Amino acid sequence: MFDALRSAIDEEMNKDETVLVIGEDVGHYGGSYKVTKDLHLKYGDLRILDTPIAENSFTGMAIGAAMTGLRPIVEGMNMGFLLLAFNQIANNAGMLPYTSGGNYQIPIVIRGPGGVGRQLGAEHSQRLETYFQAVPGLKIVACSTPYNAKGLLKSAIRDNNPVLFFEHVLLYNMKQEIPDYEYTLPLDKAEIVREGKDITIITYSRMRYHVLKAVDRLIEKNIDPEVIDLISLKPIDIDTIIRSIQKTHKACIVEECMKTGGIAAEIIARVNELIFDYLDSPIIRLSSQDIPTPYNGLLEQHTIVHSEQIINSIIKQLNI
């Protein structure tokens, strides 16, 4: 995964000289998760800019640079650190194209690892996608495979709007064969990972794998789920979800963010607004607990959703 991301950045930087990377330890250190390893040797210290520890200001600086013609990729060493940059991301990146009446565009990508890792402690285990979900001018994407990571990151870099690009801390070492040829993926389309007719399971990021593990067991029980990986958290690809639910009439959402104000909360509200009559039963959401992630391994495991829970929930929803 980290190689796929690196290759996306390398290809885009090679193609377009206005693309650069800004963040802590992205240069000489090679990036905390090796996403920018050795890129500074190829592109120099100005295009792979090692910053002091000042998230709000260097994110704002990247925004100012984007307004005036550059295309920065800001790396949050951990996406949680972007809480420091909330002012710049919400007020400036999210608003200036609009409040300036079109005077300025902000072609910025803000990327980095989020999600619950292995006993990293509460602050390094955050899911910021829901905090930023309500900010009107942002696009939010969550990659989940090396293949989609590369295609999506290339699209994000080429996009003329601010894109928050969420990677997952436990997926960086994931391996997958990806094409040699150049490809991009649309930022606003969900991926149908598995077609099915009995129930729609909607998920994103690392939870995709917990879902797929559950699906293996469900198939053994002759259950035929449709699995959708959201990819785009903002805007939600509601069309893909609607078409699926019109077919299956039931849905379960499996997410790693907290239950309160989560991505599932948003999807359920929208589905109710649009196709309530197609639902045979309420949509069930399986989310993380509304608590800071504890350090203790056992406790940590119980804050996030497991395949067992997914299996049990679906069986219950299908009245089997």
Partner 1 sequence: MLQKSTITSNALITNEEAKIFYEDMFLGRIFEDTCAKMYYQGKMFGFVHLYTGQEAVSTGIIKNLKPYDYVCSNYRDHVHALSKGIPPKELMAELFGKETGCSKGRGGSMHIFSSKYNFLGGFAFIAEGIPIALGAAFRNIYQKQILHKIDDLPVSICFIGDGATNNGQFFECLNMASLWKLPIIFVVENNQWAIGMANQRASSVQEIYKKADAFNIPGVEVDGMNILEVIKISREAIARARSGQGPTLIEALTYRFRGHSLADPDELRSIEEKNFWIARDPIINFVNYIKNHNLISDDEIKKIEKKVKLRIEEAVKFAIDSPEPNLHDLSKYLFY
Active site residues: 55, 124
Count of C-beta atoms within a 10 Å radius of residue 220: 8
CB 271, min distance to partner 1, A:
22
Q: Based on the shown chain and the rule CB under 8 A, indicate whether residue 101 belongs to the binding site for partner 1.
A: yes
Q: Does residue 238 touch partner 1 according to CB under 8 A? A: no
DSSP assignment letter at 84 = G
Length of the chain: 320
Among 35, 48, 65, 140, binds partner 1 (CB under 8 A): 65
When asked if residue 16 is in the footprint of partner 1 (CB under 8 A), the reply is: no
Give the interface size with partner 1 as a residue count (CB under 8 A): 43
Q: Which of 4, 8, 9, 20 binds partner 1 (CB under 8 A)?
A: 20
* Residues paired with residue 140 on neighbouring β-strands, in sequence order: 164, 234
91 binds partner 1, rule: CB under 8 A: yes
Residues 6+ apart with CB under 8 A from 246: 275, 278
99 contributes a contact to partner 1 by CB under 8 A:
yes
Please give the sequence-ordered ranges of beta strands (E in DSSP) within the chain, or none if there are none. 19-23, 48-50, 71-75, 109-114, 139-142, 163-168, 191-194, 199-203, 225-229, 232-234, 251-258, 284-288
Per CB under 8 A, the segment of 31-39, 88-96, 170-178, 250-258 that binds partner 1 is 88-96
Question: In the set 87, 173, 260, 296, which binds partner 1 (CB under 8 A)?
Answer: 87
Residues 6+ away with beta carbon under 8 Å from 52 = 24, 58
Number of H helices, E strands in the chain: 12, 12
Closer of 67 and 171 to partner 1 (Cβ): 67
Site residues (CB under 8 A) for partner 1? Answer: 17-18, 20, 44, 46-47, 51-52, 54, 56-70, 87-88, 91-92, 96-105, 136-137, 139, 160-161
